[in-house]
Structure 1
Amino acid sequence: MSSKKSVAAPLPLAREAVDVPAVFAERFNSGQPHAVAEMYEAGAVFVSPDGTVADSPESIARANASFLALGLPITVRPRQVYAAGDTALLIVDWVIDGTAPDGRPTHIEGTATDVARRGTDGVWRYVIDRPAG
C-alpha cells in the first residue's frame, strides 16, 4: 500500500487591486510565513505601529512574524481601494481576535493604509504596508 502525502493547493495571488486585502487575509490565515512574504514586491517596506520601517524581505518577515505567532485569524474589511494604472491605495480595517497560544484573550485592530502595485506578471503586491494607518 502506498502512502501519498496531501499537498495543499497553492494559494492565489491578487489579480485585481480590490482583491489584495482578501488575498492577504487568506495567506495570513494559512499561518504560512512564506505565503505572507509573497504578498510583498522586492523593495517593499512595512511600517510597524511604532513607526519602525522594515525594508528587506527578512525584516518584513520578522515584522509579520509577531502577528502570525498569535495563531489567530485576521479579518479584513476594505474601506476604499483606489487604483491608478498599476498602483493602488488601500484603506483597510482589520481585526485579529481570539485566544492566543498562551491562553490570553487577544484583540488587535487597526486601519491599514497600504500601497500596492501590479507587477509585470499581473499580480498585485504590497509596496508599502502600514497596518496602523
Structure 2
Amino acid sequence: MKTALTDPAQLPVAFEAALNRGDVGGVLALFAPGAAMRTVTGAVITGDQALRQEIGGTVAARGRLTNKSRHALVGAESALLVTDWTLEVTAPDGRRVASAGTTANVARRDADGCWRFAVLNPLGTA
C-alpha cells in the first residue's frame, strides 16, 4: 500500500488517523523503504516486520494518538517534522496509561512526489 501525501506536514495527521482507526497497514504505508523508528522505550527498529510488530502492539493496546504539529521545515527533498504528541494505551492490568512528548521526524520525497517517513523519533532530542 502506498500513500499519496504531497505535503509532508500531513504525515503526522495521517499517522494519527490510521493508528486511531487501528489500520496497521495504513500506518506502515507512511514509512519509506528502509525507514527507522525509535520507540518510546528508546530502542531503534528497522524493517517491515519490526515496524509492523511495534505498530501492531500499539493498536492491540487500543492506542489513541493525538498529534499537534509545531512545524515542518522542508529542503532538499527532505523535511524535519516537529510534532507534540500524546499517546494513551491500555496497560496489561487494564489501566489506561498516557505518555507524551515531542517528535523530531525526518521525511523524504520519493520519486513519485509523495512524502514518507524516513526516520521517526518520538523522543525528540532526548
Determine if the alignment matches structure 1 residue 19 to structure 2 residue 10.
yes
Percentage identity across paired residues of the two chains: 28
Structure 1: 5+ residue stretches without partners:
1-9
Query: For residues 122-133 of structure 1, what are the structure 2 equivalents within 5 Å?
Result: 122-133=113-124
Q: Is the 8 A contact 1:13 1:39 kept in 2?
A: no
Please give the TM-score of this superposition, normalised by the length of structure 2: 0.85
Letter in structure 2 aligned against 1:85 = A
Query: 2:100 is matched with which residue: 78, 88, 109?
Result: 109
Cα deviations by residue, 1:7-32 (Å, 9 ceiling, x for unpaired): xxx99642201111111111111201
The 1-side partners of 2:19 and 2:4 are apart by 12
Letter in structure 1 aligned against 2:5 = A
The 2-side partners of 1:50 and 1:100 are apart by 15
Query: 2:81 is matched with which residue: 44, 69, 90?
Result: 90
For the aligned residue pairs, the C-alpha RMSD in angstroms reads 2.2
The 2-side partners of 1:70 and 1:102 are apart by 11
Determine if the alignment matches structure 1 residue 29 to structure 2 residue 20.
yes
The 2-side partners of 1:20 and 1:85 are apart by 18
The 1-side partners of 2:25 and 2:70 are apart by 27
Q: Secondary structure at the match of 1:54?
A: strand
Q: Is the 8 A contact 2:65 2:88 kept in 1?
A: yes
Q: Secondary structure at the match of 2:79?
A: strand
The 2-side partners of 1:71 and 1:13 are apart by 26
Structure 2: 5+ residue stretches without partners:
none
Please give the TM-score of this superposition, normalised by the length of structure 1: 0.81
Equivalent residue pairs, number: 124
Q: Is the 8 A contact 1:75 1:95 kept in 2?
A: yes
How far residue 99 of structure 1 moved from its aligned partner, in angstroms, is 5.6
Q: Greater CA radius of gyration, 1 or 2?
A: 1
Q: Is the 8 A contact 1:73 1:96 kept in 2?
A: yes
